[in-house]
A and B are shown apart, each in its own frame.
Chain A
Amino acid sequence: MSEAAVPRGLEGEGPLVALIGQPNCGKSTLFNALAGFKANTGNFPGTSVAFTRSDVLVAGLPMRLIDLPGTYSLHPYDAAEQVTRDFLLSGQVDAIVAVVDASVLSRSLELTLELIETGLPLVIALNMMDDARRKGITIDVPALEARLGVPVVPTVATRGHGVVQVALKALHASRTRQSGILPTYDRDIEESLGTLIQAMPAELSVRMRVPTRFLAARLLQDDEAVRQAVGKAHPEVLTLADTQRRLLAEMHDWPEESVFSSHRHAAAMDLFEDVARVVRRTRDGWRERTDDVLMHPFWGIVGVVAALGGLFVASFFVGDRLAGVVGAPFEALMDAIGDRADTSLVWAMTRGLVEGLAGGAGIVLPYLVPLLLLMSFMEDVGYLPRAAFLIDGLLHRIGLHGKSVIPLVLGYGCNVPALMGTRILETTRDRVITALLVPLTACSARTVVILALVAGYLGPLWALGVYVLNILVTALVGRILSAVVPGHAPGLLMDIPPYRLPPAGTLARKTWFRIREFLVEAWPVLIVASIVMGALQFAGADDWLNGLLAPLTSGVLGLPAVVGVTLFFGILRKELSLVLLYSALGTANVASVMTPAQILTFTLFVTFYIPCVATIATQVREIGWRWTLVSAALNTGVAILVAATLGRLA
């Protein structure tokens, strides 16, 4: 809203088109369909928390497409909603694509009316038409178009239906600058709006790049950001707005803060009743029965445990099989060159190269592929909000917010999006606590270490034990943090979307894009670090590093001192600790050098200590340097404590 909030780096060819919609309306799916699947999609609120940009060509015409975080209204309640609103009102947007979930049309229309009030050119993508049909809702599209004065395109984004038409209409709207028909409210409201509009200097509308009527409406809703922007130069307008709002509240016997929004709700309901018919509302058979089990107070909890346990067990068994098949040729290759490795620098580095390649293809990928595929399925099918629903009560007991469970579960995939996911939390306190807990969750990179070392050498049950321990430690640290950080967690309020069976293609593509991230970003780092490691070993520099870390590795943790260098490189990527372990020990059979207790200690330390550089960078951006340092200290402290204690016991 403020004049300073204009985002940079958006230069480019063609109009800037922003996709806006309520969480879980299929906005990101539509964006992906247009952009060629670059962003993540997920069937739960709050997937896209930072905005994603894609430059696309539609019928040969360029367009800058922006996917904004989902928002329920233009009144921001959390950081993600704030991003959307600031961007929308920054004066950069040439056209809006309002993505509307047709199966909950009446609710979505409230946001649509708010968007029309901004005066920006607008196109409606009436998405999830299949869901609406299933619920027995038929929508008179021409009537909706006529009432709102903007193009309405029915879409099923998951199948790509209507997607191109939406883009074409948006291009057209950006050229004609045609905005929609403003909603008219009750006479009282309109009179108050009129009074305010007359009192407002034209300068305001020019400076803030929105119609005066929009500003007047926001003032009647006690919009803090607009109040500040207007109040600086024109305090008398605020006084008038407050008087009018109080007047309306008295006339309608309605709380002041919601008198305006309740009228907009009424306008949306009127519109809904005029354009939609609900012919039948039968209970949705299998979905309802599934929830009877999966949201059951007892069986639901059993389900959460089974789902998470099943995720890791299945990943282990599939991964173990794959690792055996894919890893074999690499092992043969490593054996072949192993004997000659120490004779020259070139050979030492070649061995590093082969080990880096083998580590990525033969150890990391086999476990990563099934894990990511299963996690994508759990996200897209809509299970996560249900898990949050079941666990909220427990989380509140330890002082956390139920919604924290979504970033925390995402953390088991990758900490980076999980940290960005903390923006769905309403209070700074909950955001900070959750952002300190996320780096403790065993992300897929650490899962690979756990599966390859603990499951591989000690057995899958031990690996599951490490997981349970990871969850318990995270919960315990959460309990302590929530006692230390002042404030209380507000109540949970969260959409529970219907189950949606993600099309196999969508699932495959989503998994592929996450794997590609490993292939192009992480694997090269693994290979380069592995080569550097080869050179270090040749020069004897690894001994120096190991000696430096020896008080920790062999002193406190009771590990062979040679693992020091692997823990150091592990800060770059957690998989590195695993891949480099083989070359540090000089064998692919870890059990021949380390005792089971040492393997367990090593894995526990890798699981809990300082997160990778990507996580640290994200943390700095999300919660600042100070908390990031606290987080690093916390991670290291917990890692030493857990690994040293349990290593002794085992």
Chain B
Amino acid sequence: MTLAQAVPGTRVRVVGRNRGRRHEANLAGLGIHVGDEVIVVRSAPFDGPLLVEVPASGVRIAVGRGMANGLFVEPADE
């Protein structure tokens, strides 16, 4: 599934990324890497971005819906 489909409040692991979008933004620079566990904290209205926390670093990032559609995740064990 994609990050966009993850339910707020759940913990997921990033497993891959849509190759077409790789040049659009600096996901790794902001602190989200393939292999990272992230928590979807909340989502914004009007199909807006998701607020994602990376527990390992404590970083919180707003990830736009389009970007979230291009990030593949799987459920992570608590």
Q: Do A and B come from one complex?
A: yes
**Are A392 and B62 in contact, with the CB atoms below 8 A?**
yes
B75 → A minimal CB distance (Å): 21
Decide if A480 is an interface residue (CB 8 Å cutoff): no
Q: A interface, by DSSP: helix, strand, loop or mixed?
A: helix
Most B CB contacts (10 A, CB to CB) among A135, A262, A385, A393 go to A393
Decide if B65 is an interface residue (CB 8 Å cutoff): yes
Cα–Cα distance between A72 and B27 once the two chains are bound (Å): 10
Q: Which of A110, A385, A490 contacts B25 (CB 8 A)?
A: A490
B30 → A minimal CB distance (Å): 6
Q: Count of A-B contacts with CB under 8 A?
A: 139
**Are B57 and A491 in contact, with the CB atoms below 8 A?**
no
B residues with CB within 8 A of A: 17, 19, 21-22, 24-31, 33-34, 42-49, 51, 55-68, 70
**Are B49 and A402 in contact, with the CB atoms below 8 A?**
yes
From known contacts A103-B58, A297-B43, A402-B64, infer whether A491 and B24 are also in contact, taking CB-CB under 8 Å.
yes
From known contacts A388-B62, A390-B48, infer whether A491 and B25 are also in contact, taking CB-CB under 8 Å.
yes
**Are A75 and B25 in contact, with the CB atoms below 8 A?**
no
Write out the residue numbers on chain A whose beta carbons fall within 8 Å of the beta carbon of B34.
Answer: 258, 262
5 A-B residue pairs with Cβ-Cβ distance under 8 Å, sorted by A, are: A77-B29, A104-B57, A291-B42, A389-B49, A390-B45
From known contacts A491-B64, A494-B62, infer whether A107 and B31 are also in contact, taking CB-CB under 8 Å.
yes
Write out the residue numbers on chain A whose beta carbons fall within 8 Å of the beta carbon of B60.
Answer: 495-498
Smallest CB-CB separation from A73: which chain B residue?
Answer: B29
**Are B25 and A262 in contact, with the CB atoms below 8 A?**
no
A35 → B minimal CB distance (Å): 27
**Are A493 and B42 in contact, with the CB atoms below 8 A?**
no
**Are B64 and A426 in contact, with the CB atoms below 8 A?**
no
**Are B59 and A107 in contact, with the CB atoms below 8 A?**
yes
Give 4 nearest A-B pairs by CB, closest first.
A393-B48, A393-B46, A491-B64, A72-B29
Chain A residues numbered 66-87 whose CB sits less than 8 Å from any CB in chain B? 72-73, 75, 77
Q: Which of A135, A291, A495 contacts B30 (CB 8 A)?
A: A495
A604 → B minimal CB distance (Å): 29
**Are B46 and A491 in contact, with the CB atoms below 8 A?**
no
B68 → A minimal CB distance (Å): 7
Smallest CB-CB separation from A390: which chain B residue?
Answer: B44
Cα–Cα distance between A528 and B38 once the two chains are bound (Å): 59
**Are B29 and A104 in contact, with the CB atoms below 8 A?**
no
Cα–Cα distance between A73 and B24 once the two chains are bound (Å): 15
Smallest CB-CB separation from A262: which chain B residue?
Answer: B33
A186 → B minimal CB distance (Å): 15
**Are B65 and A77 in contact, with the CB atoms below 8 A?**
no
Cα–Cα distance between A530 and B21 once the two chains are bound (Å): 55
Write out the residue numbers on chain A whose beta carbons fall within 8 Å of the beta carbon of B62.
Answer: 385, 388-389, 392, 402, 492-496
**Are B61 and A493 in contact, with the CB atoms below 8 A?**
yes
Cα–Cα distance between A465 and B74 once the two chains are bound (Å): 48
Decide if A165 is an interface residue (CB 8 Å cutoff): no
From known contacts A255-B19, A262-B34, infer whether A493 and B48 are also in contact, taking CB-CB under 8 Å.
no
From known contacts A107-B57, A297-B43, infer whether A77 and B25 are also in contact, taking CB-CB under 8 Å.
yes
Write out the residue numbers on chain A whose beta carbons fall within 8 Å of the beta carbon of B65.
Answer: 393, 396, 491
Decide if A249 is an interface residue (CB 8 Å cutoff): no
**Are A269 and B44 in contact, with the CB atoms below 8 A?**
no
Decide if A298 is an interface residue (CB 8 Å cutoff): yes
B48 → A minimal CB distance (Å): 3
Most B CB contacts (10 A, CB to CB) among A72, A107, A261 go to A107
Cα–Cα distance between A105 and B59 once the two chains are bound (Å): 10
A44 → B minimal CB distance (Å): 11
Write out the residue numbers on chain B whose beta carbons fall within 8 Å of the beta carbon of A397.
Answer: 46
B74 → A minimal CB distance (Å): 17
Write out the residue numbers on chain B whose beta carbons fall within 8 Å of the beta carbon of A498.
Answer: 60
Write out the residue numbers on chain A whose beta carbons fall within 8 Å of the beta carbon of B63.
Answer: 491-493
Give a binary string over A285-306; 1 marks a CB under 8 Å from any B CB, 0 the rest.
Answer: 0000001000111101100000
**Are A135 and B58 in contact, with the CB atoms below 8 A?**
yes
Q: Which of B22, B29, B49, B67 contacts A393 (CB 8 A)?
A: B49
Decide if A106 is an interface residue (CB 8 Å cutoff): yes
